[in-house]
Amino acid sequence: MIGFVVRRLLQLIPVLLVASLGVWAMIYAVPGGPVGMLVGENATPEQIKAVTAQFGLDQPVLVQYAAWLQKAILGDLGRSIHTREPVLDLIAQRLPATLQLGLAATLVGLVIGVPVALASATWPGSWLDRGLSLWSALALGVPTFWLGILLILFFSVEMRWLPSASGYAPLLTSPAEALRNLLLPAVTLGVYVSGIFARFLRAALVEEMKADYIRTARAKGVGEREVVGRHALRNALLPFVTIVGLMLANFIGGAVVTEAVFTYPGLGRLLIQAISTRDYPLIQGCILVILVIYVLINVLVDALYAVIDPRVEYA
């Protein structure tokens, strides 16, 4: 088990190398650089030259990459060109907010999605099933940015119950403040994933229901609710865990639109800002961290497999 995890983590290294090279290639292709924004509008050419040299931006791109890589291997991702803060510190400030929102949204998605799937799969084809599948269609079809706007309109502009822009407050130390700020974005994202969860779990359950052991259970006179809730669910859980993990991984950096609606200080917006200001070390750092977490969550999901289903081996 530990050997498996370590092996998977070691496989990360070539992926990160390729990704970092890709990002550097993109930087080379993108027009514009960070210096203009640093020196301001009324800078003299000498000033611009000095700042360009100060950050080594006058060096060939490959030389810059080599210099960056040398440090990155030792765990130093450099400093942001704009704020001069270590890239790792900037990311570490945003990561808790991103994780908190991602986890909260996943939780909302599960709380809505799992009961919907269970009810649908218990009575497939019924009016309840059809009604609930409409819910899934709505959850997936309503764009998060529109749902977010509607929620802001009602809960912030009209009722004045919740803030129209969400900051970050740690849930463990200031729960009330965190909930106020987290509620709208988490519901917005959570409704969306609840649609994915419900559709996937329902499909998996319906598939399981065709299996022989279900027929056996039914023949033994086990109630339909128990058939779905205990027998089918246990087997459908395996692929479902993957989907949940994948969604969670996708929220790290992929929730930019929701972050933008609520002006939430997440990792995705940090990356967008870094791209906009051409803050090269920060762009690299953000993408690497997003990839690492993506892989980590995948490894975690695979490890969970073993817990749920001991037949899985890690050859």
Determine, following the binding rule CB under 8 A, whether residue 257 of this chain makes contact with other proteins: yes
Token match 């270590």: residue?
A: 86
What residues numbered 180-239 form the site for other proteins, per CB under 8 A?
195-196, 199-200, 203
What residues numbered 44-73 form the site for other proteins, per CB under 8 A?
44-48, 50, 72
* End-to-end Cα spacing for the chain: 10
Joined tokens for residue 116: 């919907």
CB of 222 to other proteins, least distance (A): 28
Closest CA to 113 of 210, 19, 213, 201: 201
CB of 205 to other proteins, least distance (A): 13
Determine, following the binding rule CB under 8 A, whether residue 309 of this chain makes contact with other proteins: no
Residues 281 and 80: beta-carbon distance below 8 Å? yes
Determine, following the binding rule CB under 8 A, whether residue 289 of this chain makes contact with other proteins: yes
User: Number of residues in contact with other proteins, rule: CB under 8 A?
Assistant: 107
Q: Would you give the DSSP letter of residue 152?
A: I
What residues numbered 155-184 form the site for other proteins, per CB under 8 A?
156-157, 163-167, 169-170, 172-174
* Residue closer to other proteins, measured from CB, 57 or 214: 57
Determine, following the binding rule CB under 8 A, whether residue 108 of this chain makes contact with other proteins: no
The Cα–Cα gap between 83 and 80 comes to 6
* Residue closer to other proteins, measured from CB, 119 or 287: 287
What residues numbered 114-153 form the site for other proteins, per CB under 8 A?
134, 137-138, 140-143, 145-146, 149-150, 152-153
What residues numbered 17-36 form the site for other proteins, per CB under 8 A?
18-19, 22, 26, 29-34, 36
The Cα–Cα gap between 199 and 116 comes to 9
Closest CA to 190 of 297, 103, 96: 103
CB of 219 to other proteins, least distance (A): 26
**What residues contact 240, with CB distance under 8 A and at least 6 apart?**
197, 200, 201, 204
